[in-house]
Structure 1
Amino acid sequence: MMIWLAIPLTAVLYLWVKKLARRYKNPLINTIMLPALLIIALLIVTGQDGNAYQTGTQPLNRLLELAVVAFALPLYQQAAKIRQQLWPIVLCCSLSALISVSTTLMIGGLLQAKPELLASIATKSITTPLAMSVSEAMGGIPAIAAGLVIIVGMMGAIIGLPLLKWAGVHHPEAQGLAMGASAHAIGTGAAAEAGPVQGAFSSLAMVVCGIATAILAPPLFHLYLWFIQ
């Protein structure tokens, strides 16, 4: 039964939460987090098999892979602005990746976290496929990496833009770069809802930070292992 209800249920909950979000303008009313929590609660209460739900939503998963290509449109629309500031953007995103990985390793080291756990956490701010691949190459656990990526993305989508505005960051390009650098694809979706400029620069930051993390994380992790030995 859940196989056939999976897509209608997902669509109805998403549209309902989206309507609530437009009406109440509350960052906690998130179109990704709330439907996910409601579906989890429903599966638990009714005793339905989560695998059946996952099977039923396979068509949506395939469309999601194609939808990522749509991020190219705002990039194309903002191409002139991006070309004018390309190297500062690359530098900022690279520094963001460096700080993210370094602080994770330092804090993990102070807490005496196991190396395989640190390898899984270090890729928390890049998109899921890259995070799983890079963490596995460092000896991490891909499932933990994927879970953390989702958690970080949801947190960024919920509090990212309000936090930036509270901190006095009102420039749409800066907002977009911050969202893409810290909250990857989920944050980019939230940035795109804020405006086309935010969406374009968030898409760019997501790509650049993903590449930078894939390059920087392995040597930094091995340097950390050498230092603690």
Structure 2
Amino acid sequence: MIWLALPLTLALYFLTRALYRRLPWPIINPVLIPTLVIMGIILGFGLPFTDYQQGTRPITALLEPAVVALALPLYQQARQIQARLKPILICTLASVLISVCTTLAIGYCMGAEPALLASLATKSITTPLAMSVSQSLGGIPAIAAAVVVVVGIIGALIGYPLLKLFRVTDPEAQGLAMGACAHAIGTAASAEQGISQGAFASLAMVMCGILTAAVAPLLFALYHWLVP
């Protein structure tokens, strides 16, 4: 399967990127389009998903080095980050509180089970952290991972158009917003916009992950105390 899965995945990714350079529409996303095409091929031809997944293991193995590589724009923007560390911390903490609290409030109004709430509350942080934090809260890691991917793709699609609509033009503010709301996929989209956007998106993604791991258990404990 590696002879089909690996070339197909890479070809779809690079073709989508090339198309995006010609037609820079948000819907032409190098994560969304290949994902939909590959899902269609797997379902249409009845291919075993596990075999296809095994065929893309060389790409999967590059995920961890790719995340580490996000430290490069952080290093390049170290002075700007240090000068704005306090507002960055306030913004990322506010993002975490809004994300978790709105999930709990909406879930309560809709009668969601605690396990589902725990799975959804980590929707705005990167997948490995979301699965770990969700499981520690009594959630379902598989649901958490799926929700994170959906949120990231939606954030990458509508993030910059929304920022433009609300006239948020500062590159650092754009990066913080994308990293805080759309984690790694939003960070990748920010890196294509510029060095400052990529650096601040990387920083927001990391800080939101750490803060969610610290704050979410406290908020869930308070939720269960208020809503027995």
TM-score normalized with structure 2 length: 0.98
Q: C-alpha separation between the residues in 1 aligned to 2:19 and 2:117? A: 38
Q: Please list the CA deviations of residues 118-158 of structure 1 after superposition, one character each: whole Å capped at 9, or x if unmatched.
A: 00000000001111011100100000000000000000111
1:60-79 alignment to 2 at 5 Å? 60-79=59-78
Q: C-alpha separation between the residues in 1 aligned to 2:107 and 2:47? A: 37
SS of the aligned residue for 1:16 comes to helix
Provide the identity percentage.
60
Paired residue type of 1:9:
L
Structure 2: 5+ residue runs without aligned partners?
none
Paired residue type of 2:194:
G
Paired residue total: 228
1:209 counterpart = 2:208: yes
SS of the aligned residue for 2:62 comes to helix
Paired residue type of 2:168:
V
Match in the other structure for 2:51: 52
Paired residue type of 1:155:
I
Paired residue type of 1:209:
C
Root-mean-square deviation (CA, aligned residues, Å) is 0.7
Q: C-alpha separation between the residues in 2 aligned to 1:182 and 1:103? A: 13
1:21-40 alignment to 2 at 5 Å? 21-40=20-39
1:227 counterpart = 2:226: yes
1:170 counterpart = 2:169: yes
Paired residue type of 1:219:
L
Q: CA deviation at 1:165?
A: 0.6
Structure 1: 5+ residue runs without aligned partners?
none
Paired residue type of 2:106:
I
Q: Please list the CA deviations of residues 73-107 of structure 1 after superposition, one character each: whole Å capped at 9, or x if unmatched.
A: 10011011001001110111011101110111011
TM-score normalized with structure 1 length: 0.98
Match in the other structure for 1:183: 182
Q: CA deviation at 1:54?
A: 0.2
Q: C-alpha separation between the residues in 2 aligned to 1:52 and 1:94? A: 41
Q: C-alpha separation between the residues in 1 aligned to 2:188 and 2:212? A: 21
SS of the aligned residue for 2:125 comes to coil
Match in the other structure for 2:120: 121
Match in the other structure for 1:100: 99
Q: CA deviation at 1:175?
A: 0.2
Q: C-alpha separation between the residues in 2 aligned to 1:139 and 1:70? A: 32
Match in the other structure for 2:147: 148
Match in the other structure for 1:134: 133
Q: CA deviation at 1:3?
A: 3.0
